[in-house]
């Protein structure tokens, strides 16, 4: 094989597997409709941005910036990065286009490819896709509830099961500072015993030590200070309110005091949705509040809250739970012409159906009926019409339903209206 795809990426095409293009289209169409029903509008931003945007927002010491960015110099000598996440580009676009004037742009959702240079494994790719949502300008904690609710509805309505919702509250900047200091004071006593990674983080991003998977680190953290003890009254009240309101819509959450998420810009609420069916890459989605992000990018002083979830991980989890959808065949009528006249007639008939958005196609790969029928079968055609000399002479056509083999004869002049009726009962 002369050319192969780069490491950590995959091709998506019609096939019977979780990563088929049909599954991607089904899922994104579903999520788009759902987001719209929650009052969100779509934003589409470029897949590359100036590198400095991500350094500024994610933080120099985050995994994304320090290890995972696909960065390149363009021909003008500018540093560009294939977007590793969706929030910073959405906020950049919000500020640059002065979207605070645009009422439809206060609740945004996005889809698209994202890029991270990480060690590939099941559920972790170098190009992956995310569905994300952001609400700008609302401080009310019910907004946090709605964001988590939309994310959970995304999962529930496509049939995902066994998910846990982990929540934490990082409080205000000052609570976070006080906590960070207390954490450092505590961990400082154990510094030589911490993992190498955590020792590095101790100086440049101590809160990230809470994320550590190292068993010894985890043991040490057990008796360490907890952020929840450092919250101001307002934060604690809002946090409890969020937990209660989630319960009221049927979402039971678990408080995880070690949940910080990797990026610098979060404050107050952070959350992650975990599945037990995905092995190591168990986080399906997550997000939180970032009330100072817009201002830190020299934008308006507006609060924001949002989430991002991986399309691949959703599909992989559906597969693991044996809940991938059985998608209805998208080809409604397949014409099999047996000679040149029939080919012409078939093309005219298919055109008439396509003009009414009825999926129709014709076989142009030879004159062997058996082969053509097999082809139609593998395409998943709902109905097949074979047209030859006899049919054209007698002006009568047989419509065959592929799943049952049942046939009905109709006069050629009423074929289109008959197909219309069948289509109406089908959709
Ligand atoms: P994050 O921005 O890291 O919170 O990621 C949000 C979601 O995107 C994760 O929960 C995953 O579902 C998905 N995701 C992140 N990184 C990858 C990756 N390398 N490959 C596949 N999915 C990913």
Interval 235-256: pLDDT, tens: 999 999 999 999 999 999 999 9
Q: Which two tokens stand for residue 284?
A: 């399906």
Say what the pLDDT of residue 16 is: 85
Give distance in angstroms: CA of 315 to centre of ligand 1.
13
Going by CA atoms, what residue is nearest to atom 9 of ligand 1? 285
Rounded to whole angstroms, what are the CA distances from 363 to 338, 352, 377, 412?
9, 16, 12, 19
Judge whether residue 126 has pLDDT over 90. yes
Say what the pLDDT of residue 6 is: 97
State whether the beta carbon of 313 lies less than 6 angstroms from ligand 1.
yes
Q: Which two tokens stand for residue 76?
A: 């003008």
- The DSSP call for residue 286 is E
Query: Distance of alpha carbon 392 from its chain centroid, rounded?
Result: 50
Q: Quick one: which atom of ligand 1 is closest to the CA of 126?
A: 19
Q: Quick one: which atom of ligand 1 is closest to the CA of 130?
A: 8
How far the first Cα of the chain sits from its last, in Å, is: 43
State whether the beta carbon of 303 lies less than 6 angstroms from ligand 1.
no
Confidence of residue 5 (pLDDT cuts 50, 70, 90): very high
Q: Which residue in 416, 393, 396 sits closest to 407, CA to CA?
A: 396
Give distance in angstroms: CA of 244 to centre of ligand 1.
28
Say what the pLDDT of residue 362 is: 98
Say what the pLDDT of residue 63 is: 87
State whether the beta carbon of 275 lies less than 6 angstroms from ligand 1.
no
Give distance in angstroms: CA of 310 to centre of ligand 1.
5
Q: Which two tokens stand for residue 334?
A: 């397949």
Q: Quick one: which atom of ligand 1 is closest to the CA of 123?
A: 21
State whether the beta carbon of 54 lies less than 6 angstroms from ligand 1.
no
State whether the beta carbon of 85 lies less than 6 angstroms from ligand 1.
yes
């Amino acid at each position: 094989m002369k050319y192969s795809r780069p490491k950590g990426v995959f091709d998506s095409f019609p096939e019977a597997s979780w990563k088929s293009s049909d599954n991607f289209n089904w899922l994104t169409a579903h999520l788009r409709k759902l987001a719209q029903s929650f009052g969100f509008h779509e934003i589409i931003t470029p897949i590359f941005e100036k590198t400095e945007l991500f350094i500024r927002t994610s933080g120099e010491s985050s995994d994304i910036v320090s290890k995972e960015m696909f960065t390149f110099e363009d021909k003008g000598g500018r540093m560009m990065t294939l977007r590793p996440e969706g929030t910073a580009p959405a906020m950049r676009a919000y500020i640059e286009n002065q979207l605070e004037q645009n009422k439809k742009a206060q609740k945004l959702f996005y889809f698209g490819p994202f890029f991270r240079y990480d060690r590939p494994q099941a559920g972790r790719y170098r190009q992956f896709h995310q569905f994300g949502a952001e609400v700008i300008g609302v401080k009310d904690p019910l907004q946090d509830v709605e964001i988590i609710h939309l994310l959970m509805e995304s999962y529930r309505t496509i049939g995902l099961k066994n998910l846990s919702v982990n929540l934490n509250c990082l409080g205000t900047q000052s609570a976070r500072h006080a906590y960070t200091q207390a954490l450092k004071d505590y961990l400082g006593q154990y510094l030589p015993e911490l993992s190498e990674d955590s020792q590095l983080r101790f100086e440049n991003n101590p809160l990230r030590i809470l994320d550590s998977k190292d068993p010894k680190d985890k043991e040490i953290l057990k008796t360490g200070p907890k952020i929840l003890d450092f919250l101001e009254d307002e934060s604690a009240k809002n946090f409890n309110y969020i937990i209660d309101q989630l319960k009221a819509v049927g979402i039971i959450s678990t408080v995880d005091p070690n949940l910080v998420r990797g990026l610098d810009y979060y404050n107050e609420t952070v959350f992650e949705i975990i599945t037990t069916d995905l092995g190591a890459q168990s986080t399906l989605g997550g997000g939180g509040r970032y009330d100072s992000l817009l201002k830190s990018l020299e934008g308006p002083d507006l609060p924001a809250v949002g989430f991002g979830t991986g399309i691949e991980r959703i599909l992989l989890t559906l597969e693991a739970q044996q809940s991938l959808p059985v998608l209805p065949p998208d080809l409604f009528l397949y014409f099999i012409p047996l000679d040149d006249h029939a080919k012409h007639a078939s093309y005219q008939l298919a055109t008439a159906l396509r003009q009414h958005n009825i999926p129709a196609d014709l076989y142009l790969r030879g004159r062997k009926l058996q082969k053509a029928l097999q082809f139609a079968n593998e395409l998943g055609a709902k109905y097949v019409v074979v047209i030859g000399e006899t049919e054209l002479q007698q002006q009568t056509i047989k419509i065959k339903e592929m799943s049952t083999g049942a046939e009905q004869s109709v006069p050629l002049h009423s074929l289109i209206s008959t197909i219309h009726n069948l289509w109406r009962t089908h959709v």
